[in-house]
Amino acid sequence: MATVAIPAAKWSWESPYTQVRTSNSLDADVQLVERCLSGQEAAWEDLVKVHTRRVYSICYRFTNSDPEAQDLTQDVFLRVFKNLRSFRAGEGLFVVWLTRLTRNLLIDHYRRTRMERATESIEDQVTALEENTAAIARTDGMVAGREASELLQAALQKLSPELRETVILRDLEELEYREIAQILNVPEGTVKSRLNRGRAELAKVLRRQKIRI
């Protein structure tokens, strides 16, 4: 399998997922998976091309590191390549399956490096991931300039991983509450609660930095 090419990020703080997910695009995912499983190399390249930006974005928002996010994105697609046969089209959307796989790899990553992050538990890391995502989307287009963008990303890192994760999946990835609940394996009510808490916490951090939202 060829190495996944991931261009270095130049963050403009525009939501990378402005396109609407239509039934045609969902059907296209299933068709790509079927072609991959039939051994078509071009189909694998297309699958990676379509979903790399989504996976990289989740990894970057969580780690706040471009090199680390690129490495993790490579790992995600390697895991996808090895486990693609476990995807069942009749049991859910491919994007939900892929996002759950990405999240699980991120958790594994932080378990391996928890000694380097002794001040933050794995549960806290997952919480922050949820909070960061939702809050960024609410501030898209409201914070201008590279310096402000950097301040915003720094503010997101102050959120717990659990809240950051929910915010990313809802406000950046634009997933439905039902889909997020499936990925996180929690009730929809818990998703909404974490989302509200994440947005509120991010707003507090930004206000302390004197950034209007």
**Please, what are the domains in the chain?**
20-120 (1.10.1740.10), 121-213 (1.10.10.10)
Beta bridge partners of 128: 164
In this structure, what token pair is assigned to residue 88? Answer: 């069942």
Rounded to whole angstroms, how far apart are CA atoms 66 and 205? 23
Rounded to whole angstroms, how far apart are CA atoms 50 and 64? 22
Mean pLDDT of the residues in the chain: 76
Residues 6 or more apart whose Cβ sits within 8 Å of residue 203 = 135, 138, 213
Rounded to whole angstroms, how far apart are CA atoms 167 and 133? 3
pLDDT score at 38 = 93
Q: Is residue 97 pLDDT above 70, yes or no?
A: yes
Q: Is residue 210 pLDDT above 50, yes or no?
A: yes
- Give the predicted TM-score (pTM) of the model: 0.68
Q: Give, in order, the Cα–Cα distances in Å from 179 to each of 42, 107, 176.
A: 29, 19, 5
Rounded to whole angstroms, how far apart are CA atoms 160 and 127? 4
Percent with pLDDT over 70 in the chain: 67
